[in-house]
Amino acid sequence: MRELTQVELLQELEPVAESNLNRHLSQARDWHPHDYVPWDDGRNFAAMGGEDWGPEQSQLSDVAKAAMVLNVLTEDNLPSYHREISEYFDADGAWRTWVGRWTAEENRHAIVMRDYLVVTRGVDPVALENDRMANMTKGVYTDDSSGLLPGLAYVTIQELGTRISHRNTGKACDDPVADRMLQRIAADENLHMIFYRNLCSAAFDLAPDQAMEALDDVIERFQMPGIGMPNFRKMSLTMAKYGIYDLRQHLDDVLWPVLRKLEIFERTDFTGRGEQARDSLAAWLAKSDEDATRFEEQRDRLVARDAKRREKAAS
């Protein structure tokens, strides 16, 4: 079977992109960031005669702070994501329209989260701005999204993972305003995931071996966007420890639903190349399941130890 070039893939998938763009536009709900921010909570900072931020002003837990900062910095870096995704969606028509629409919707997420954090004084706005400058100056460069098929696989997984992270962050904030805002964002992310997943499905029908190799490679090397941002490891570990987003959720709530929808382990149209990639993925999934169980056991012990320590300190 001849391997299709990037141009051929783009051309063949253009009608699918157009139909899914129209589907997205018919289902996406217009909303406005200012409707999700509690402006009555706002007050001036010192530069305008008010009071600068102090840690005691935040009503968010350390877990919620870490999750919110990581999420907003991820959304902030849309110029980098737009540049990367445009490299393999570099065509007129539906592809170009989709990339612009997707970027605008993701940018809206950054706007509303930052407004919420600044107005409610949820985190230090100076530190947040410093991190934004450092993060956007560095930019995002991922090998995972090199080429159309790896790119489609990556954003399918990333959008579903982001949806779950936003929903769990909303719960961790213990604030109905934040929860409502993040549910709204998560609904957008779900529509984005459906667009990319449907393109993935069409790619498997078009070039099954190439698509399978791309999916396997992306899953085995996958990293959520934001890997290079300030304090990423510390924030991501905090999120994993407290159930915002961890390996078990990545496997059970992100990867397996996508794999089942694409019928990866039911397909019969692979040649030796595709079969080899599928076997590699199956082995990786089995090992990752063991790793997730081990992490959960260690986390349970750590959380129990922390609880005992707090009990002892309170008595």
- Determine the Cα–Cα distance for residues 161 and 224; give it in Å rounded to an integer: 8
Backbone angles phi, psi at 155, to 5 degrees: -70, -25
Is 87 annotated as contributing to ligand binding? no
Q: Determine whether the annotation assigns residue 159 to a binding site.
A: yes
Provide the CA 147 distance to its chain's centre, in angstroms. 19
Distance CA 89, CA 144 (A): 15
Is residue 75 marked as binding?
yes
Indicate the Cα dihedral angle 159, 196, 203, 256, nearest 10°.
40
* Encoded tokens for 208: 């099954």
Residue 109, marked binder:
yes
Q: What is the distance between the alpha carbons of residues 257 and 260, in angstroms, rounded to a whole number? A: 5
- Is 192 marked as a binding-site residue? yes
User: Is 3 annotated as a binding-site member?
Assistant: no
Contacts of 246 (CB under 8 A, 6+ apart): 239, 240, 292, 295, 296, 299
- Residues contributing to the annotated binding site: 75, 106, 109, 159, 189, 192
User: Which residues are part of a known binding site for Fe cation?
Assistant: 75, 106, 109, 159, 189, 192
